[in-house]
Structure 1
Amino acid sequence: MSEAPAETGTPDQPTGEELLALFTSMNAGTLGERMGIEFLEASPGRVVARMPVEGNTQPYGLLHGGASVVLAETVGSVAAALHAGRDRIAVGLDINSTHHRGVRSGYVTATTTPLSQGRSVATYDVAIVDDEGRRVNTSRITCMLRDAPPQAT
């Protein structure tokens, strides 16, 4: 895992390292963990994660298109959650995905770019590239931002 930039966190803005630790722990026991998704960077303006091709292929030995969508939704939802803030949550509203090329080995890496970040809706472009930096997939995810439900005691 690459190191996040050294930052000083505040109660409202955790450091990059704190965000990476948080999202790695939240990934435990989820589909993302089963697929091998690993967070590399996390900040309110950018989330980067990678996923192995091995174990996420379709019968022809290529990266499964659904695996790319899972990776895109994971990084897009994390970016939206960071934008939403501590007392709010992000839930997926829409995702679309275009597959550009097949991948048979190595890793694919997804990077988010915010397209629109409002109070109730946030939309992100997600570029997924192979180990050589070639675009494998382009996705767009829109998340609804809501107040977090009360915690059960």
Structure 2
Amino acid sequence: MTNKEKKEILDFLNNWGNGLLAKNLGIQFSEVTEDSLSATMPVDEGVHQPFGILHGGASCVLAETLGSCLSNIFIDKEKYYAVGTNINSNHLRSIRKGMVTGTAKFIRKGKTMHVSEIEIRNEKGDLINYTTMTNNVIAK
């Protein structure tokens, strides 16, 4: 994948779906490779649960956004779309403020099913959340 192709993909993803949940949480795509996709999300009061730490649902939104987008950028968009059918998320460490970075990588990239793993880390590199996700690739 060329730098130009990477830039086009990131520009598309960062400008896709304005007003939707991922945008409302401040998710910004930052890196794409042949088999991975990364994004950042700020951790502040807007994504806290009542105890003042990152809400597990917000972690799931970041993970699912990454897993879904990873599948959708690597299929023929004229013929198919990928939708999430299963997500398993493990919240491993809390965070109160700062930035988290999630990276989704394919475990399996088949014709009709994609399975990815998503790691969300804090700014020190500590693992905050580990998620696996399954997407079905469906004909339009």
TM-score over 0.5 for the pair: yes
Pairing partner for 1:99 from 91, 114, 125: 91
Give the alignment's TM-score, normalised by structure 2: 0.93
- 8 Å Cα contact 1:43/1:79 also seen in 2: no
Query: In structure 1, how many angstroms separate the alpha carbons of the residues matched to 2:23 and 2:117?
Result: 22
Cα RMSD between the aligned structures? 1.4
Q: What stretches of structure 1 move > 4 A for 4+ residues in a row?
A: none
Aligned length: 138
Pairing partner for 2:125 from 113, 133, 144: 133
Pairing partner for 1:60 from 13, 35, 51: 51
Structure 2 stretches of 5 or more lacking a match? none
Give the alignment's TM-score, normalised by structure 1: 0.86
**Larger Rg: 1 or 2?**
1
Instruction: Using the TM superposition, give the Cα deviation of residue 118 of structure 1 relative to its aligned residue in structure 2, in angstroms.
Output: 0.5
| Residue in 2 that maps onto 1:82 | 73
Q: Which has the higher strand share?
A: 2
Larger relative contact order (Cα-Cα within 8 Å, sequence gap ≥ 6): 2
Instruction: Using the TM superposition, give the Cα deviation of residue 22 of structure 1 relative to its aligned residue in structure 2, in angstroms.
Output: 0.7
Instruction: Please say if 1:7 is aligned against 2:3.
Output: yes
- 8 Å Cα contact 1:112/1:126 also seen in 2: yes
Q: 1:86 to 1:43 in 2, by over 3 A?
A: farther
- 8 Å Cα contact 1:75/1:110 also seen in 2: yes
Identical amino acids, percent of aligned pairs: 34
